[in-house]
Amino acid sequence: MAYGVAFTHRSHSVQRASARQLKTQEKYGELTALANQLGEKKSPLTEMTHSPTLRSNKQRTFATMFESPRMLVDTAKTEPGSVCYQAPSNIALVKYWGKHGVQLPRNPNASFTLSVARTITELAWAPKDHDNASRIQLELYYDGELREAFAERVRTFFGKLTKIYPFLEQFAWTVKTHNTFPHGAGIASSASAMAALAACLVSLEEQWFEKLSTETYFQKASYIARLGSGSAARSVFAKAAAWGTSTSLAGSSDEYAVSIADQLHPSFQDYRDSILLVSSAEKSVSSSAGHGLMDNQPYAPVRYDMANRRFTRLLEILKRGELDDFCTLVEADALDLHALMMQSTPPYILMEPNTIAVVNAVRRFRESSGLPVCFTLDAGPNVHLLYPKAIDLQVNDWLKSEIAPLLPQGLIYDHVGEGASRARLPEFKITA
Ligand code: PMV
C-alpha cells in the first residue's frame, strides 16, 4: 500500500485555517505593495538579468507562436464529449523561487517527476448556456463534489488561454478531478492539477485540429501548464525536467520546461522519493505570496546567481551519477529556500519542529550508515527523502523504526515516474 498511517478528518479546522490564511495573505500582499511604494531598489544584477526590454522580444515571439485565432470549432457540428489525462507531482532539486512577467522564473530549476502522487482530470464540453454571460463557463467537481474556489482558479487559467485556444469561449466545460494522494496531506497539488489540465487541452487541440509532433505536444503542454502554476511546467515530462534559460542546457527556456530524462545516470532513473508527512496544516503563506516576497528580498540577487551555478552543477551530477554531491547540493538548495523565507520582509517559517527533527535524523543516518540518503523540502513542512532504489530495504527499516513516530500523517512511498498520459477517472457520484 502506498500510504502509511491513517489521515485525520479536519474540515472545521481547514475552514478556520483558510480564513486565517486569507488574512495573512492579504497582510503580506499589503506589505509587499508598501515595500514597492517605498521604492526599495532591486539590485543591479536583478535589473540586468531580468530586464523587461531584454526579454520582451522573446516573449512576443512565443505569444505569437502559440496564439491561434483560427482555433474555433463549428459548435453545431460538435457533439458533447470529454478527454481524460493524468499528470504527476514533481519534486524540485534546484528550486524555482521568485518570478517575473507572466509567470517566468528568476532562475533555472530542475525536478524529478513523481509517479504515485498524481492528478487525474476529465475535461468535458457541452453547448454553452447563452443566458449565462460568463466568458468562460466552467464548473468543477473534486471527487464528485462541486468546488467553486477551485473552479474560479481554472476559469482564470482558461481566461489566460483564450488567444491560444479561442474555442474555450465556445463551450460550457465540466472538469472532474481526483488526486491519488490523500486530500489534506499537505502535498501541493497545483503542479499535477495544472499539468493534467494542460495535457487535456493540447490533446483536445489534436482531436479537433491536427496532430502535433511529440516535441511540440510536450512543449505546448508545458507552456500552458506554466501559465496555471510555474512548477507545473515540469510535470508533463517523464523522469526529470528543467525549466528556465541556462547556458548549460541547450534548448532550455523560460517559457516552457524541457526533458532532461536522457541526461540521467542509471542510478537516478528510478530514484526514490518517500514523502514524509510531518504536518497537514494549511500553509500560513502561499507559494504565490512567497514568490512575491522575493521581489524585495535583499539576498535575491545572490540567490539567483547561486541557483544558476547549482543548476549547472546539478546537470553534471545527474549525468555522472555522483550521489554524494547530489546529497550536498540538494540539501543546500532546500535549506536556502527556507532561509529566504526567514529573510523576507516580513519573515516567516514554514518548517515545523518535526521537520527539523526529521532533517537531523536523516543527516545522522547518512553519517552512521554511509548511505546516500538526503532530504529536500518544498514550500511547506513535509520532508522528501531521496535515495537510490538499490537501498530501499535499509531505508525502509530505518523509516519504520526511527521516523514513523515523527509522522502523524504517515508517508507516501513515491519514485521517479512517467509524466502526463491518457487516463480514466475513477467513478464518483456527483454531489452538487
Ligand atoms: O509553482 P509554484 O508557484 O507552486 O511554486 C513552486 C515552488 C517550489 O515548490 C517551492 C519550488 C519548485 O521549484 O517546485
For residue 3, is it within any domain? no
Does 294 contact ligand 1 (Cβ within 6 A)?
A: no
Say yes or no: CB of residue 109 within 6 Å of ligand 1. yes
Instruction: Please state the atom number of ligand 1 nearest to the C-alpha of residue 230.
Output: 1
Specify the residue for cell string 472538469: 175
Q: Give pLDDT, residue 124.
A: 98
104 lines ligand 1 (CB under 6 A): no
Tally of domains in the chain:
1
Band of the pLDDT at 98, cuts 50, 70, 90?
A: very high
pLDDT at residue 33 in the model:
40
- Domain presence at residue 432: no
Lowest-pLDDT range of 27-36, 148-157, 251-260, 261-270: 27-36
Do the domain assignments include residue 415?
yes
C-alpha cell at 262: 536522457
Within 10 A of 65 (CB to CB), how many other CB atoms are there?
A: 13
The grid coordinates listed for 178 are: 481526483
- Cα-based distances in Å from 180 to 10, 84, 89, 121: 19, 15, 10, 11
Tell me, in angstroms, the distance from the centre of ligand 1 to residue 111's CA. Answer: 10
DSSP symbol at 232: G
Whose C-alpha lies nearest to ligand 1, atom 4? 287
Which pLDDT does position 423 carry in this prediction?
95
Residue 263: is it exposed, middle or buried by C-beta count within 10 angstroms (0-12/13-18/19+)? middle
Q: Over 90: is that where the pLDDT of 183 sits?
A: no
The pLDDT of residue 188 is 72
The answer to whether the CB of 212 falls within 8 A of the CB of 223 is: no
Is 259 domain-assigned? yes
Look at 333 and 6; give whichever has higher pLDDT.
333
Answer whether 317's CB lies under 8 Å from 112's CB: no
Q: Which atom of ligand 1 is nearest to the CA of 191?
A: 1
Tell me whether residue 6 is in a domain. no
Q: Is residue 1 part of a domain?
A: no
Q: Would you say residue 193 has pLDDT above 80?
A: yes
Half-sphere exposure of 120 (CA within 13 A, CB side): 15
Ligand 1 pocket check for 333: Cβ under 6 Å:
no
pLDDT greater than 60 at residue 404: yes
Helix (H) or strand (E) holding 337: helix 323-342
Q: Which atom of ligand 1 is nearest to the CA of 288?
A: 3
pLDDT for 19 equals: 39
- What is the residue whose three cell numbers read 546537470? 315
In a domain, 428, yes or no: no
Mutation test residue for ligand 1: of 378, 382, 383, 384, the one with most atoms within 8 Å of CB: 378
110 touches ligand 1 (CB under 6 Å) = no
Probe ligand 1: pick from 231, 341, 351, max atoms within 8 Å of CB?
Answer: 231
Higher pLDDT: 186 or 425? It is 425
Q: How confident is the model at residue 185 (pLDDT cuts 50, 70, 90)?
A: low
State how beta strands 272-276 and 411-415 pair: antiparallel
Predicted local distance difference test score (pLDDT) of residue 186: 65
Ligand 1 center to residue 288 CA distance, Å? 9
User: Residue 432 — very low, low, confident or very high, per pLDDT cuts 50/70/90?
Assistant: low
* pLDDT(34) > 60: no
Amino acid at 332: A
Name which residue leads in pLDDT, 353 or 431: 353
Residue 137 covered by a domain: yes
Please calculate the CA angle 111-112-116 and round it to the nearest 5 degrees. 135
For 309, phi then psi, to 5°, come to -70, -40
Examine the pLDDT at 282 and tell me if it is beyond 60. Answer: yes
> What is the average pLDDT across 73-88?
96
Q: What is the pLDDT of residue 249?
A: 98
CA 103 to ligand 1: nearest atom: 3
Report the percent of the chain where pLDDT is more than 70.
84
CA distance 415 to 137: 37
Name the residue range of residue 373's domain: 11-422
Mean pLDDT of 243-257: 97
The alpha carbon of 283 and the centre of ligand 1 are apart by a number of angstroms equal to 13
Does residue 179 have a pLDDT over 70? yes
Mean pLDDT for the chain overall: 86
Residue 1 confidence class, pLDDT cut points 50, 70, 90: very low
Is the C-beta atom of 231 inside 6 A of ligand 1?
yes
C-alpha 92 to ligand 1 mean position (Å): 8
**Residue 311, ligand 1, Cβ within 6 A:** no
Q: Which helix (H) or strand (E) covers residue 83, if one does? A: strand 81-94
Position in ligand 1 atom list of the atom nearest CA 231: 1
Q: What's the DSSP call for residue 44?
A: H
Quick one: pLDDT at residue 131?
81
* 186 CA to centre of ligand 1 in angstroms: 14
Q: Which residue has the cell 479546522?
A: 13
The residue that leads in pLDDT, 19 or 107, is 107
Q: Which of 391, 90, 413 is nearest to 267 (CA)?
A: 391
Is pLDDT above 70 for 407?
yes
Type of residue found at 16:
R
Comparing 41-50, 176-185, 219-228, which segment has the lowest mean pLDDT? 41-50
Asked whether the predicted pLDDT for residue 321 surpasses 50, the reply is: yes
Tell me the CA–centroid distance for residue 44 and ligand 1, in Å.
Answer: 25
Decide whether any atom of ligand 1 lies within 6 Å of the 92 Cβ. Answer: yes
Q: What is the pLDDT, as a whole number, of residue 40?
A: 35
Output the domain CATH number for residue 330: 3.30.230.10
| pLDDT score recorded for residue 64 | 62
Which pLDDT value is given to residue 189?
85
